[in-house]
Structure 1
Amino acid sequence: MSPPSKKNSLTSRIVIGMVAGILLGTFLQWLMPNGSDKVINLYLFELSLKGLFVDGILEVIGQVFMASLRMLVVPLVFVSLVCGVCSLKDTSKLGRIGGKAVALYLATTAIAISFAIFVALIIAPGEGVNMVANSSFSGREAPSLAQVIIQMFPTNPFASFAQGNMLQVIVFALLFGIAIALSGKAGERVALLFEDLSEVIMRLVTILMNIAPYGVFALLATLFTTVSLTTFGNLIEYFLVVFFVLVIHALVTYPIILKLFTGLNPVIFLKKMRDAAIFAFSTASSNATIPVTLETATKKMGVKNSIASFTVPLGATINMDGTAIMQGVATVFIAQVFTQDLTLADYLTVVLTATLASIGTAGVPGVGLIMLAMVLEQVGLPVEGIALIIGVDRLLDMTRTAVNVTGDSMVSLVVAKSEDQFDHEMYLDPQAGHNIEEIDFKHLKDN
């Protein structure tokens, strides 16, 4: 059985778990009507049903799943981020070319999430639901922007790990990764260790995603004992908002940046990105699409391999604009669903956290939801709100992966043009790279 069919099977099971949870929760809500005129047997039945089944079995399953999400946040971010920074081990690329690429990747991510939050605040897809979180949490006084910047730097990184202070974890991982990249043979040995750790953590992510249908079932069954089916309208609205921002970012933001920095025709760029974007959509994995993205950049767009071999893998690691868009809209959506007001400092924290966390978001399916759990906790929102969006996240995951690889190629073009490592004639040639379609796509997917 090939990996794509497994992914489809997982998607189907998540959707089935979502629908089954909603139906069960609605049925249980019907069995537990409000009112004081119930006969004593029905009243006792309601107490037993809610106490033993809803607040017992379903609550335990759902909260264990959410705890598993939280469990992976710190190790996933730290190890993935260190591995990403270690890819800058060539000291010459750590300078001019690396600085350009990283700056462009971070800038596009900041633009993406800022625009996502702006659109979500205008459309307000989560208003009117008024859901109550199961876990107890209280609003906190938002720190000033100066305090946020100061608190980004840890005095004790181990305490940051234990407390789940993700901004401090991210900063420490950046510094630690740079130190590894500059430490010669000793750094290479440590980098190999982190690559192995990354493989193990990715396996944990795979295990967690395989039990996700059961966690989603339990969470939604619990939520829908108190929520009506009218929430579906808000969920569809959330989906459309994320999809709209993703499309605008890919078809408007990237072409504008390309035109401003290179003067190249963005229509040609979008046409030549078609095959790589389709492959990215089908795999929902930036890492799996690296071979196709490299071929597209070097054989179709004229980017010299000396640039593309550096910027494309780096982009697959740190360029997660699509994930940042989802996190921005989801944060606003969940805040509105649970009627929690976020301040300007909260939104700035979301932008800063998601932008930096995008560096540590591995390019594999499903990781974005774990990163979203971290972003929600940073602004005091209930993590169980993820259960509302996980059912529609698979299609959005595929779409945002296509956006991510488009950004990888755009940045590669900009850097190559600025470094005079670019073949303009190849870029203009509509037949350039026509044999890319002969790539064994099945082999790439299987690997």
Structure 2
Amino acid sequence: TFGLYIATTVIAVSIGLLLVNAIQPGGFISEDTRGDMLASFGESVDHQIDLAKSQVEDVSPLQPIIDIVPENIIESASSNTNMLQVIFISVLLGVALISLPIGEVIGLKKVFDASNAVMLKIVDIIMLSAPYGVFAIMAAIIVEVPSFELFKALGAYGLTVVIGLLLLIYGVYALMVMLLGKMKPSKFYKAISPAQLLAFSTSSSAATLPVTMECVEKGLGVRKDVLSFVLPIGATVNMDGTCLYQGVAAIFIAQVLNYDLTLAQQLSVILTATLASIGSAAVPGAGILMLVIVLESIGVPPAGIALIFAIDRPLDMLRTTTNITGDAVVALIMNRSMKE
């Protein structure tokens, strides 16, 4: 499972780097527009930089492993930022349940089953209003942008990210579904479309997880024990869309700021983006925090994030959709391998 997740992440970042070097979107930004962007979004970027630095300061290499064990079970379960802790609690609870006679735990199992059914029904009700919510989000984004010129100037950058995400979803993932999952891509995409819509509207892999699990189980026929392990882990460690975006964004910012990156620096983006994605929060805006780490690793000022802030929200929605699609692909492949 982890091997597949890391492989797809490396492929995603590589696609992003190839596209951004081929299209060179940084050449479409004028000096005046660059100044406007830095002035308009500088304060927001400073906050993100401070937040990212506070998360990585004085952190040992083994800290992510230590953080898997929660200090407070209730706090971990109520926060979308501690998905690995939730998985740890769930595995521990599951081991305890199967170690006891079925007669002693049947009541608790029924409570869990009923709670799961209720939560899925609540999500189904919310899904009915999802299209209207997406419309409202997009309208708010357009209204809040300081100038339409900023959108036009960022068109090449946004198009580069979108092309990369489409290649990943309908190219790489389609091949994996056919060759490794032994399923027609059309059936796969139809089955997970409700989860993709919710991911697009919420920009959160964690919030989409119940719907993703339902789609993968009922639409793709993946065993419950497989998806219950693969998908929650994927929501935390597998962020293909986010890593592709980081590769494009890092090189784009370097191009605009006239930083000439060496091949070694660009290759380091692949490693840094992959490592940064493991354990990061599956919530809206997490990609920006990860991007600060990537930029600092190649010597590009994190303040350059202001250059892409104007269209980050719609791209966040698209890359989250890609993230959960990748999770579903890996779940399908793992289910197939278990059968064989």
Paired AA for residue 316 in structure 2 = D
- Out of 315, 322, 336, which is 1:403 matched to? 322
1:79-103, Cα deviation, whole Å (9 max, x unpaired): xxxxxxxxxxxxxxxxxxxxxx111
Count of aligned pairs between the two proteins: 263
Q: Distance in 2 between matches of 1:174 and 1:315?
A: 16
- Measured after TM superposition, the shift of residue 175 of structure 1 is 4.4
Q: Measured at CA, do residues 311 and 113 of structure 1 come closer, stay the same or move farther in structure 2, by a change above 3 Å?
A: same
**Corresponding residue number in structure 1 for 2:213:** 294
8 Å CA contact retained: 1:129, 1:338: no
Q: CA deviation at 1:343?
A: 0.9
Q: Distance in 1 between matches of 2:22 and 2:223?
A: 42
Superposition misfits of 4+ residues, deviation over 3 angstroms: 128-134, 161-166, 173-177, 189-194, 196-202, 229-234
**Residue aligning to 1:195:** 76
Check if 1:281 corresponds to 2:190: no
The runs of 5 or more residues in structure 2 that have no matched partner are 39-52, 84-139
Contact 1:280 1:402 survives alignment (8 Å): yes
Q: Please tell me whether the aligned partners of residues 151 and 310 of structure 2 are also in contact (alpha carbons under 8 angstroms).
A: no
- 2:335 aligned with 1:416, yes or no? yes
Match of 1:104 in 2: 4
Q: Give me the whole-angstrom Cα distance separating, in 1, the residues matched to 2:74 and 2:257.
A: 42
SS of equivalent residue, structure 1 residue 262: coil
Shift of 1:130: 6.8
Aligned partner of 1:12 in structure 2 is none
Higher relative contact order (CA 8 A, sep 6+): 2
5 Å matches for 1:337-356?
337-356=256-275
| Aligned match of 2:297 | 378
Q: Which residue of 2 aligns with 1:75?
A: none
Letter in 2 for 1:335: A
Cα deviation 1:194-237 (Å, max 9, x = unaligned): 838966899xxxxxxxxxx9xxx9xx99xx9xxxx976544111
Q: Distance in 2 between matches of 1:341 and 1:364?
A: 32
Q: What do residues 107-147 of structure 1 show as CA deviations (whole Å, max 9, x unaligned)?
A: 1111001110110000000026475899xxxxxxxxxxxxx
TM (norm. structure 1) is: 0.53
TM-score under structure 2 normalisation?
Answer: 0.69
Query: Share of identical aligned residues, percent?
Result: 41
State the Cα deviation string for residues 293-345 of structure 1 (Å, max 9, x = none): 00011111100100011111111111111111110110111000000011111
CA RMSD of aligned residues (A): 3.2
* Other-structure match for 2:181: 262
The equivalent position to 1:172 in structure 2, one of 44, 62, 71, is 62
Distance in 1 (CA, whole Å) between partners of 2:228 and 2:82 is 25
1:127 paired residue number = 27
SS at match of 1:363: coil
Pair 1:128–1:296, CA change in 2 (3 A): closer
User: Quick one: structure 1 residues 330 and 200, their matched pair in 2 at CA, closer, same or farther if it must change by over 3 Å?
Assistant: closer
CA separation of 1:200 and 1:364: change in aligned 2, threshold 3 A = closer
Larger Rg: 1
| Equivalent-residue separation in structure 2 for 1:377 and 1:192 (angstroms) | 34
Q: Is the 8 A contact 1:106 1:356 kept in 2?
A: no
